[in-house]
A and B are shown apart, each in its own frame.
Chain A
Amino acid sequence: DAKTTQPTSMDCAEGRAANLPCNHSTISGNEYVYWYRQIHSQGPQYIIHGLKNNETNEMASLIITEDRKSSTLILPHATLRDTAVYYCIVRALNSGGSNYKLTFGKGTLLTVNP
């Protein structure tokens, strides 16, 4: 998997938008950008993924730059329950097998403050 670079930590005020950046300058043409988060002592939770177009779901929005070398995960109205480590991962979309695996970096610890 291509490497990603994320800030170690970020803070956000409750109710405000949280914008989490990720650099993936060596991403390949067939690799998607996935975002997961891990709340303390729980398993990771899938958030969103995208290839080149911006994506939005009930949890977040994903903005991918035109050159695909970076992306931003946006939590529009952060709550205290959004405090977690957020992982940005790039991976090719395959039909299955060992290529399905996700390789986790260190992620960004987002702390939402009241």
Chain B
Amino acid sequence: GAVVSQHPSWVICKSGTSVKIECRSLDFQATTMFWYRQFPKQSLMLMATSNEGSKATYEQGVEKDKFLINHASLTLSTLTVTSAHPEDSSFYICSAGASGRNTGELFFGEGSRLTVL
């Protein structure tokens, strides 16, 4: 299957700093990528839809100025958590579907665990 890679897999930062998480589709092009957040013992919650070459679409309740998404190429989307606070500590997961592949499945990255001190 197609491979989606995230980096870093885990990060610890101080409160008030910004953290960037990268999501790459390694062997396919992805017009659309999705960013999810998962708190302990909860399900994945969609944060935003990242579209290559255009602005991201955010889900209700997700602050677009706090979670900056950039999708500059067909293989890379980045999520920047700005001015991170302890409540932003979570497991962030990206996913992508292969452009032109009409099978509907999404491929997920390994996830990035953010801990804000």
List the interface of chain A (C-beta within 8 A of B). Answer: 32, 34, 36, 38, 41-46, 49, 87, 91, 93-98, 100-107
Contact = CB atoms under 8 A, between A and B. Distances in A.
Contacts of B46: 101-103
Interface in B85-110: 91, 93, 95, 97, 99, 102-110
Given A43-B93, A44-B108, A97-B32, 9 more contacts: A41-B111, A43-B109, A46-B1, A97-B51, A98-B49, A102-B46, A104-B36, A104-B44, A104-B45
Interface residues of B, number: 30
B44 to A, nearest CB: 4
B43 interface: yes
A98 B47 CA distance: 12
14 contacts: A34-B104, A36-B108, A42-B111, A43-B108, A44-B44, A46-B105, A46-B108, A93-B102, A93-B104, A96-B99, A101-B34, A104-B43, A104-B44, A106-B43
